[in-house]
A and B are shown apart, each in its own frame.
Chain A
């Protein structure tokens, strides 16, 4: 009798174990790599998004991360958010002036790096999206990106019991809806903070600049800080920085104002080492070439930013010092942070 009970129990354990081989690894007890919190770094401004109506939890973060890396968000299950936003390149896409969407389509703009998004006041190069929670559904529905519909995405996620369980873990019930999808992805995206560069260590008194870096920092404060304001290295404004005029009207596409033509959101200068090529259309391949643009390549047009009317004056030595400083803005920790890796 005892043996029979043992056999039954043993078989049950065996079946459960076999079953667990097929369940999602994320359903295992929460591992260390989802220990997540959102802390405002010292001397940084108050974030624009503070998770007040979207409490950041390990379960919500893990769900958001899984969604971010899931190709099922695209119509033919080929493209995930991470396809164009890779962690190793600061969640930009290296060597792609513009990224590839479903059916081998090319996008119109350079996929931006994703970090410190909680401080952003708008999203996309033209700032068309006014709230971080409304960002994730835009690439999902964009015909040249993922080209999927919300009903399809929700049906695909609902068909996967491990997702239903994760939505329950994160939000209390198994219901999967647009709002929960948006909030979960933002728990991942919004929690990505890059503040461990050498610059940050210098500011926190834990390191010091070399002579060249320091000289570059002084040049930066004289020539670049107006738009690329510390400590986020962008003022989140829209400006025409003198690129060649193309069909893409930038901010004017959103506002309809002629005065906004060819203006794009000022990108952060953090993590430049990972995020080439540069500019909204990915048309400049190196940092040196970006500096050359500002000293000798500015294209005049009615909406050109006033600060660039006379270009920027930098000698060859200035440029190398400036580049030395810009290299202190690379955060080698967050690009390999296990919490942000594909699960």
Chain B
């Protein structure tokens, strides 16, 4: 008898422990939007560590590391109302395909006309202590000696580089005042984004690495092969890359 009670209790334990709570986002009822980033150099897809490209100055280069933060993502409706993604911090890493898209949950239904976001991590998160997830310093995008995030990172090689081993390294950091490399971007959609329950439309955004080095400030790899401290040189690159994105299409 006692054994039966014990067995029954165990059975209950096993059974109950197998019952999972329902997923809070029911695919049939929630309305989501996906954002996918694809990186190019000019018209060519970016391929790390193999393809050679040309910058506006005529220097050829290969890219080994390419990462940037996309944060504070917002979608704006035709009636000007705004959806703001919660805890909106994404690290897009060219070496990790899974990092290049993300899904924003519970976007209110309706017709949206534009997306906006920050390139980089807002100043608040640069000054509020230990962070986690995309903002974990383990991702290699945090300066420990001069607190703050590296908003975008480009590392490559160029025969024109004057650094030892011909490297070209740009770590764009600086979140306040004149040295801020934070840039806010707003992109209109070529066709409207229709959010409705049960679907997850995908916003395809193309980014162009060549923009880092072309306009308005032409970057010369021979003159400035290594830039890793906040200041005017990095601000020049940020002024260039703020125009690097466009929405290719929505599907």
Contacts and interface: CB of A to CB of B under 8 A. Distances in A.
A142 B179 contact: no
Contacts of B231: 256
Contacts of A246: none
A129 B126 CA distance: 10
B132 A134 contact: no
Given A131-B128, A132-B129, A133-B129, A178 B137 contact: yes
Secondary structure class of chain B's binding surface, majority of residues: loop
B18 interface: no
A131 B145 CA distance: 12
Nearest to B179: A256
A248 to B, nearest CB: 13
Interface string A135-156: 0011001100000001100100
Interface in A276-313: none
Interface string A182-201: 11001000000000000000
A177 B144 contact: no
Contacts of A40: none
B147 A178 contact: no
A186 B127 CA distance: 16
A204 to B, nearest CB: 32
A254 B174 CA distance: 11
Interface string A86-125: 0000000000000000000000000000000000000010
B147 A151 contact: no
A154 B138 contact: yes
A131 B127 contact: yes
A47 interface: no
Q: Interface extent on B, as a size class?
A: 20 to 34
Nearest to A139: B144
Nearest to A134: B147
A128 interface: yes
Q: Interface extent on A, as a size class?
A: 20 to 34
A128 B132 CA distance: 21
B88 interface: no
Contacts of A317: none
Contacts of B146: 128-129, 253-254
Nearest to B128: A131
Nearest to B143: A128
Interface in B95-140: 126-132, 136-138
A179 interface: yes
B225 interface: no
A93 to B, nearest CB: 20
B127 A130 contact: yes
Contacts of A134: 129-130, 137, 142, 144, 147
Contact of B144 (A53, A129, A154, A183): A129
Contacts of A253: 146
A183 B147 contact: no
A182 B130 contact: yes
B136 A178 contact: yes
A154 B148 CA distance: 21
A179 B130 contact: yes
Contacts of B236: none
Contacts of B137: 134, 137, 150, 178
A183 B127 contact: no
Interface in A245-269: 253-254, 256
A178 B144 contact: no
A137 B138 CA distance: 10
A87 B144 CA distance: 25
A142 B136 contact: no
Nearest to B129: A133
B31 to A, nearest CB: 31
B220 to A, nearest CB: 21
B144 A151 contact: no
Contacts of B30: none
Contacts of A154: 138
A151 B138 contact: yes
B132 A256 contact: no
B194 interface: no
B145 A128 contact: yes
A129 B137 CA distance: 14
A254 B147 CA distance: 9
B163 interface: no
Nearest to A256: B231
Contacts of B147: 128-131, 134
A179 B132 contact: yes
Nearest to A184: B130
Contacts of B131: 179
Given A53-B129, A177-B136, A178-B136, 17 more contacts: A128-B147, A130-B126, A130-B127, A131-B127, A131-B128, A133-B130, A134-B129, A134-B137, A137-B137, A138-B144, A141-B144, A150-B137, A150-B138, A178-B132, A178-B137, A179-B132, A253-B146
17 contacts: A54-B129, A124-B145, A128-B145, A128-B147, A129-B145, A132-B129, A133-B129, A134-B142, A134-B144, A137-B144, A141-B144, A150-B138, A151-B138, A178-B136, A182-B130, A186-B130, A254-B146
Sorted nearest first, the 10 A-B pairs with minimum C-beta distance are A133-B129, A182-B130, A133-B130, A138-B144, A179-B132, A130-B147, A131-B129, A150-B138, A179-B130, A128-B146
